[in-house]
Structure 1
Amino acid sequence: MMKIIHTAATLDLPDWWICAGLVRSKIWDTLHGFKELTITPDVDVIYFDPANIDEEYEKKLEKKLKSLMPETPWSVKNQARMHVVNQIPPYTSSEDAISKFPETATALGVKLDRESRLVLTAPCGLEDVLHMELKPSPFFAETRERAAIYEERLIKKNWTAKWPMVKVHHVTLLSR
């Protein structure tokens, strides 16, 4: 995981983070006592640069990372444009975007600072990921539509098949 973080740091992107599944999976793998890291479908590298919202630039960054670590399924996204894709108001930063991820346990990011020290952000807190609880982030619990997306992800991702100690919390859609 540190090799992945160091590789992503070579891009020197503004307000960058490796986030979501890779971070959550590493924590849950450790808490479950797994010796091998669970394979994630992608490694999410996000950054925030309103001066360049060209999606093609993101693809170039992915290619650069792929040349450095070809076995890693890189995904690079500028959060300054992702509000359009997600059809919500603009994000103010990468951390703002992370706070609006579907699950609190996935709303995590790691990066290296200028002195190569590891930095963690957890805008929804660490309690849920450390207690292995899946809950919707406040943003996804706000509306019936977002709560439905959260519920669909629970089925699609089937996290308890990989991590049986995880407790899943459902959203009561009738009250929304």
Structure 2
Amino acid sequence: MALAALASTELTARTEALLRADATRWRCLTAMQALGLPDGWIVAGFLRNLVWDHRFDTRTGLNDVDVVYFDPVDLGREGEQQLEALLAEAEPQVCWQVRNQARMHLRHGHAPYRDCLDAISRYPEYETAAGVRLGPNGTLEWLLPFGLEHNWAGTLTANPTVPLPVFQHRVQQKQWLAIWPELRVVVKEVGPRSDGAPDA
């Protein structure tokens, strides 16, 4: 097995241990699994903040939970709202945000996404582009276009395919450096794409 694959396996195992020790997050995974969403995942801060909290010995809590799925048939906001209501019934203390990625390209001026992997790979930060779900046998499944290495490295990495001002605005708006001052911002060369990126 390649070294990169070994590192990835180790990091997913470490992240899984954190998830299994977090009762609220585990209930969220169970609630989302029960819906049986097509290409459904919990993404963004659900994993990003969990790892950063552990890495920097911080406790930020779970402000909201971002769920993505991919359904090219039902593209209305009403379907997302119904799913949010179902999740709120199962786990009412959590603020649920559900978005069908089959329609979100319209909001951000992108070409249609192929699936949720394609969609979250457009997030402005590598560390935010991470998803997880509970599989049918109680095992965790991962959606990691950039792996988990950046999360565990304690970095805040600009996605080079997203305009840098988008990344900079989010860093300021989200106050990540105030919450986790040890984070190290990493900016690579910005690619040619000039559109925005999905919310997370």
Report the Cα distance in structure 2 between the residues aligned to 1:39 and 1:33, rounded to whole angstroms. Answer: 12
Equivalent residue runs for 1:1-176 within 5 Å? 1-34=25-58, 36=59, 38-140=60-162, 146-170=163-187
The answer (yes or no) to whether the contact 1:151–1:170 under 8 Å persists in 2 is no
Letter paired with 2:118: D
Residue 114 of structure 1, CA deviation = 2.1
Report the Cα distance in structure 1 between the residues aligned to 2:62 and 2:158, rounded to whole angstroms. Answer: 20
- Aligned residue in 2 for 1:143: none
The answer (yes or no) to whether the contact 2:171–2:177 under 8 Å persists in 1 is no
Secondary structure of the structure 2 residue equivalent to 1:138: coil
Report the Cα distance in structure 1 between the residues aligned to 2:68 and 2:76, rounded to whole angstroms. Answer: 14
Of residues 154-163 and 14-23 in structure 1, the stretch that sits farther from structure 2 once superposed is 154-163
- 1:111-139 residue CA offsets vs partner (Å, 9 max, x unmatched): 01222211122102222111111111232
Secondary structure of the structure 2 residue equivalent to 1:27: helix
Letter paired with 2:99: K
- Could you list the structure 1 runs, at least 4 aligned residues long, displaced by more than 3 angstroms after superposition: 170-173
Residue 172 of structure 1, CA deviation = 6.9
Report the Cα distance in structure 1 between the residues aligned to 2:50 and 2:142, rounded to whole angstroms. Answer: 13
TM-score, normalization by structure 1: 0.88
Segments of 5+ residues of structure 2 without an aligned counterpart are 1-24, 195-200
Report the Cα distance in structure 1 between the residues aligned to 2:62 and 2:107, rounded to whole angstroms. Answer: 22
Percentage of identical aligned residues: 36
The answer (yes or no) to whether the contact 1:147–1:171 under 8 Å persists in 2 is no
Of residues 16-25 and 164-173 in structure 1, the stretch that sits farther from structure 2 once superposed is 164-173
The answer (yes or no) to whether the contact 2:27–2:91 under 8 Å persists in 1 is no
The number of residue pairs the alignment matches comes to: 168
Report the Cα distance in structure 2 between the residues aligned to 1:130 and 1:80, rounded to whole angstroms. Answer: 30
Residue 156 of structure 1, CA deviation = 1.0
Segments of 5+ residues of structure 1 without an aligned counterpart are 141-145
Report the Cα distance in structure 1 between the residues aligned to 2:121 and 2:136, rounded to whole angstroms. Answer: 23
Residue 103 of structure 1, CA deviation = 0.1
